Structure 1
Amino acid sequence: MRFNLKHAALVAACAAAFPAHATNGYFLPGFGIRSQGMGGVGIAYGRDSLSTAANPANAVNTGMRGDMGMAVFNPERSAKVYESPASPTFGFFSGDVESDSKYFLVPEMGFSMGLTEQLHVSMAVVGNGGMNTNYPRNLFPGLGGPPPTPVDKGIGIDMMQLLVPISVAYKVNENHALGVSLVLAETRFRAYGIDTFKAFPILTDPTKLTDNGFDYSYGAGVKLGWQGEFMDDKLTLGLTYASRTYMTKFDKYSSLFAEQGDFDIPENYGIGIAIKPKKNLVIAADVLRINYNDIASVGNPGPGDDPAGAAQGIPAMDLAAIYGGCPAATNPYCLGGDQGMGFGWDNMTVYKLGVQYGVNNKLQVRAGYNYNKTPIPNNQVTFNTLAPATVEKHYSVGFTYRPNDELEVTGTYMYVAGNNQSRCGQNIVDCAEIGMHQNVFGLSMGWVLDPGPVALGEYGEDDWAGINFDGWYGGFNFGQSKYDVSATVDNTRTEGWKVYAGYEFNKYLGVEGGYVNLNDMTARTGTVRTEIDTDAWTLGAVVSYPVTAKLSVMGKLGGAFMLADIDTKNGAALTAKTGDDGFEPNYGVGVSYALFDNLNLRAEWERFDRKDLNIDLMSAGMVVKF
């Protein structure tokens, strides 16, 4: 099977267009959907080309292969600002708010091959992580301007970080391998709605703080890796070191980030171990250290506890020390200065554990656990309302199915448990609380030209004796849903996605069912805001007509059991919470293109006919045929 580099380039371009929302601080829990199914391990164990981003020495075991995948991150973020009896909130918004943006696509791709028996090369395009918040109500209104910031002006940030490690690995002898990567990096960032800070005389340049659109930063670093195999390949150890990645500065936000807009990627290093009690059972663990605190824009303290109060041994920025001293090049404590306010993050140690079992010669299953202590000290909650990286515990399951010798299909689900942090006595607001939990869904394809020295042995030896999958397929689409309502609307367009499976009786007729998430919309009538969150389970007939050998048009007709949660608010207060579930018609049209023998690209429009409103879903994705 031929790996098409034009298609790979297209996916790489897409990767630069979508933000991620990460879980180990702002880093992803692991490189590649396969790794994330094992808790993110990858230092001592990796079998696909994406694993070379975790340890370049993995390339000696990946063979010749190409990988493409897509993950959907579903972070649910919330923030709350309120006053204690001892102190007012200076007229700021007092209440809680949830971020609107809830789904993010994270594409990935990679390729690896051996040049000789000893020398191997690889390249990957992966999301390193990111942060996104999009609060519909401003947490800090009443100041800023002129004019003053209104409460209904949104506030948030949008940051995405992309890595392209180009790796070379050398097998020194039968048991040891070394690897090195040149890591190219791009970061995209914007901030909006934080005009309130303009009311304080703490800025180097008020025009480079907020609402300046996207800015881009570029840079490069180096990653080194080693792997050693012992005890007849039953034990593998690994080490990695990634240098600080030096990035160009964010000129549009040079008064927000310390060191005049600097936002380097922190140094990180780790150790890993993989044990194989039997050929088809792998138990792996990593420990990774990420030095967030060494990056001034991330690690410098932000507004927190009054320095005269209980700081728990953690310094907090004393705003009084810089009042009246900005803008002045001689004052490093101004926002944007070398000692300017940051997010106050600590360095982080991440612990990862994963298990993989080869059920038979076509199926592997895996599970994992990933833990890190939140990098945010409790006295640094105020700034981190914009970046609530509070989560600590991650649980994952996954599988790889091999329908033939040249194709692997991998899926992963990760649940990230919720965690909240709060603190009163902050410098700018009195009390602040932040929280987040996440879901991660991922699907990837691996085209295997040479499986490498060990990968096939990690499947089970028994023949597949399960279901005959001929005619079956599964797919995933991501796109935009639109609610058709008559009320005054805040937001009717939002992300939508679906996962589905079906069976083709022949090339003209099939049946398909799945789960559809239509996300939410907000409508306003006077001071009353109504938020509707909708998802659905679908089942229907699919009719296809092949226009060419690769291109088909399709139509769909069926039904959907729709579940709607409706929240009605008057101001910040929740006045009613109801549900509205029921069966509704579902129909649509689309096109399908056969990219490879087992992989189709699909684009479609669907209508969900509710009695009170219609919802349209425009989506595109890929279909895997088994």
Structure 2
Amino acid sequence: MRGDMGFAVFNPERHAAVGNSAGGNSPFFFTGDVESDAKYFIMPEMGFSMPLNETTHVALAVVGNGGMNTTYRENFFSWNNTTPPRDVTIGVDMMQVLVPISAAFKVNEDHAVGASLVFAETRFRAYGLQAFQYFDSPAPNGFGMTITSDPDHLTNKGFDYSYGAGIRLGWLGEFMDDKVTLGLTYASRTWMTKLDKYKGLFAEQGDFDIPENYGIGIAIKPAKNLVIAADVVRINYNDVASVGNPGPGIAIFPGFGAALAIPSVADASKELGNDNGMGFGWENQTVYKLGIQYGVNNRLQLRAGYNYGKSPISNDQLTFNTLAPATVERHYSFGFTYKANDNLEVTGTYMYAASNTQTNCAQSILNCVEIGMHQNVLGLTFGWVLDPGPVALEEYGDSDWAGINFDGWYAGLGVGQSKYGDIDEASANTRTEGWKVYGGYQFNKYLGIEGGYANLNDMTSRTGAVVTNLAADAWTLGAVLSYPVTEKLSVMGKLGAAYVLADAKVKNGAALTVRSGDDSYEPNYGVGVSYALLDNLNLRLEWERFDRKEYDIDLVTAGLALKF
């Protein structure tokens, strides 16, 4: 039996350029060269497995399935710089969470099968696509093109949610005295409810299912502490209409004739939202993976991996994919597992997806387009192992190592709400999500030192025609004072400093947005309570303030701290 809990910091860096910014004027005067502002995301994960008897195990997990997010502050789909204004943010925000409930059965000593019922949730919003509505509107209020079947459910409708389920099946077989392991996996299409708020954007009236995939893998153990593995996985993006249906393609005719490269202009049945409506034009993808794991000693395993999957975006489908430039092809990963004691494993992972750019001209209404992305992922997972089993133990090395003395060290994650103070709340949205990650050292039960990173998100205020947006994050370092009230409950106080990175955007009426930065060292202090759930796991509730000269930022969080 074991349980795992962890998180990853996901850092996608995306950019898009269109029109003359990408090397050729758009016949509809679209232009822009911009990077996405949304660059850091926390992806939590957890799971556990347990045996029911000698042949049957059950498991439950909660994992992120990725998604797509872009926040472009310069709107490259701004028609004539007015519809919408160029400084109106454009982008999409999609998050998917999977909850597989699994059972595995050991058929005999060499073969096992498994099945999962996978529940899924999708959260989505799109914003800044008003130009699509304008092109769809009849003259003289637009171009009268057939772009969307429902212009009222195309953009700026806030978050919508979709729910669904699918199945996964798998087989694992061991051969040649357990030196070779083969595996097969199949995941059905996950059938989701419709995103009704965006039934004028996604094909089939807002349908956005998770595609089917299947794969085969092999693992070879030349030595008991060395595993070399390879997998091939096929993902059928093209079967999901909103993902695989073609969008605007290559323009054959110059000037305004480039609009004929939009499939729905020639065939109204392909309007966004229809059963055969336009999509992102993704092709099916085959992903090849190679990995190696080496047990250094009785406490440490090291891993490295590489995978390659050709971009699912063909070079004639770049127009819509400016909103979600999933262009990366090569991924490199490194990781370790450290066995702190008989019951605790700490696993760390770093993944780098190398930068890949796709560019092409004659892209329907945009002409030249360039999109690109690279990614960094840094993850940390803690595993509580009550019964590791003989195979898991032998994959560590034979040599003894006393290990690293982590006594006194701890790390944690807190999620909650930030609030910007000293601002007229009648005309401002001052409350938003906030979170932090931190680590520290406890000298004794009264005194510790702690440092971390806090994402304070943003706020927006309006005074007449002037709209101000403030966004901030911070790096912190300070002393933590604790006083035990009972054996499990302690009160805490924190005093230190923070390096606050703040960005301000001010828009006055129709004028372009003025951007400025204001990074500075500021006092950081707070109070909280800590309750010991387990010997090495504490629940923490905290309030802290980032004391700026112009305005204060309060962060209230609840989270967990793990003592090593």
Q: How much has 1:276 moved relative to structure 2?
A: 2.1
What's 1:355 paired with? 292
**CA spacing shift, 1:177–1:467, aligned 2, 3 Å:** closer
Determine if the alignment matches structure 1 residue 194 to structure 2 residue 139.
no
Does the CA contact (< 8 Å) of 1:230 and 1:236 recur in 2?
yes
- List aligned pairs for 1:32-43, cutoff 5 A: none
What's 2:191 paired with? 246
Q: How much has 1:383 moved relative to structure 2?
A: 0.7
Q: How much has 1:265 moved relative to structure 2?
A: 1.7
SS in 1 for 2:345: strand
1:302 to 247, 250, 265: 247
SS in 2 for 1:379: coil
Give the counterpart letter for 1:381 in structure 2. Answer: L
- Of residues 606-615 and 552-561 in structure 1, the stretch that sits farther from structure 2 once superposed is 606-615
What's 1:623 paired with? 561
Alignment deviations for residues 485-506 of structure 1 (CA, whole Å, 9 cap, x no partner): 989x999877765543322222
SS in 2 for 1:455: helix
Give the counterpart letter for 2:532 in structure 1. Answer: A
**CA spacing shift, 1:578–1:130, aligned 2, 3 Å:** closer
**CA spacing shift, 1:220–1:518, aligned 2, 3 Å:** closer
What's 1:208 paired with? 153
**CA spacing shift, 1:218–1:563, aligned 2, 3 Å:** closer
- List aligned pairs for 1:415-564, cutoff 5 A: 415-478=352-415, 498-514=436-452, 535-536=474-475, 538-560=476-498
Q: How much has 1:289 moved relative to structure 2?
A: 0.9
What's 1:142 paired with? 79
1:410 to 344, 347, 352: 347
Does the CA contact (< 8 Å) of 2:413 and 2:436 recur in 1?
yes
Does the CA contact (< 8 Å) of 1:184 and 1:221 recur in 2?
yes
**CA spacing shift, 1:88–1:523, aligned 2, 3 Å:** farther
Q: How much has 1:271 moved relative to structure 2?
A: 1.2
Give the counterpart letter for 1:176 in structure 2. Answer: H
- For structure 1, the residue ranges without an aligned partner over 5 or more in a row are 1-63, 310-314, 326-331
Does the CA contact (< 8 Å) of 1:96 and 1:572 recur in 2?
no
Q: Which has the higher contact order (CA 8 A, sep 6+)?
A: 1
Determine if the alignment matches structure 1 residue 160 to structure 2 residue 95.
yes
Alignment deviations for residues 2-31 of structure 1 (CA, whole Å, 9 cap, x no partner): xxxxxxxxxxxxxxxxxxxxxxxxxxxxxx
Give the counterpart letter for 2:525 in structure 1. Answer: Y
1:122 to 13, 34, 59: 59
Q: How much has 1:252 moved relative to structure 2?
A: 2.5
What's 2:13 paired with? 76
**CA spacing shift, 1:475–1:220, aligned 2, 3 Å:** closer
SS in 2 for 1:305: coil
What's 1:55 paired with? none
2:220 to 275, 278, 296: 275
Does the CA contact (< 8 Å) of 2:503 and 2:515 recur in 1?
no
**CA spacing shift, 1:514–1:85, aligned 2, 3 Å:** closer
- List aligned pairs for 1:86-125, cutoff 5 A: 87-92=25-30, 94-125=31-62
Does the CA contact (< 8 Å) of 1:519 and 1:535 recur in 2?
no
Alignment deviations for residues 482-527 of structure 1 (CA, whole Å, 9 cap, x no partner): 677989x999877765543322222111223345566789999999
Does the CA contact (< 8 Å) of 2:347 and 2:381 recur in 1?
yes
Alignment deviations for residues 585-624 of structure 1 (CA, whole Å, 9 cap, x no partner): 4433232222221112334344445677765544443322
- Of residues 464-473 and 519-528 in structure 1, the stretch that sits farther from structure 2 once superposed is 519-528
**CA spacing shift, 1:554–1:129, aligned 2, 3 Å:** same
**CA spacing shift, 1:379–1:568, aligned 2, 3 Å:** farther
- List aligned pairs for 1:304-343, cutoff 5 A: 304-307=249-252, 317-322=262-267, 325=268, 332-343=269-280
Q: How much has 1:103 moved relative to structure 2?
A: 2.7
What's 1:371 paired with? 308
- List aligned pairs for 1:6-21, cutoff 5 A: none
SS in 2 for 1:398: strand
Task: State the alpha-carbon separation in 1 of the partners of residues 413 and 62 from structure 2.
Answer: 21
**CA spacing shift, 1:224–1:471, aligned 2, 3 Å:** same
**CA spacing shift, 1:316–1:297, aligned 2, 3 Å:** farther
Determine if the alignment matches structure 1 residue 394 to structure 2 residue 331.
yes
Alignment deviations for residues 529-577 of structure 1 (CA, whole Å, 9 cap, x no partner): 99987653x4432111123332322112234566789999999999999
Does the CA contact (< 8 Å) of 1:534 and 1:565 recur in 2?
no
**CA spacing shift, 1:354–1:551, aligned 2, 3 Å:** farther
Task: State the alpha-carbon separation in 2 of the partners of residues 349 and 207 from structure 1.
Answer: 37
SS in 2 for 1:404: coil
Determine if the alignment matches structure 1 residue 178 to structure 2 residue 86.
no
**CA spacing shift, 1:218–1:418, aligned 2, 3 Å:** same
Task: State the alpha-carbon separation in 2 of the partners of residues 121 and 459 from structure 1.
Answer: 25
SS in 2 for 1:190: strand
TM-score, normalised to structure 2's length? 0.84
Does the CA contact (< 8 Å) of 1:363 and 1:399 recur in 2?
yes
TM-score, normalised to structure 1's length? 0.76
Determine if the alignment matches structure 1 residue 602 to structure 2 residue 521.
no
Determine if the alignment matches structure 1 residue 169 to structure 2 residue 114.
no
What's 1:233 paired with? 178
Q: How much has 1:264 moved relative to structure 2?
A: 1.9
Does the CA contact (< 8 Å) of 1:77 and 1:133 recur in 2?
yes
Task: State the alpha-carbon separation in 2 of the partners of residues 391 and 556 from structure 1.
Answer: 42
In angstroms, what is the RMSD of aligned CA positions?
Answer: 3.7
**CA spacing shift, 1:228–1:579, aligned 2, 3 Å:** same
Q: How much has 1:228 moved relative to structure 2?
A: 1.1
Percent identity for Structure 1 against Structure 2: 69
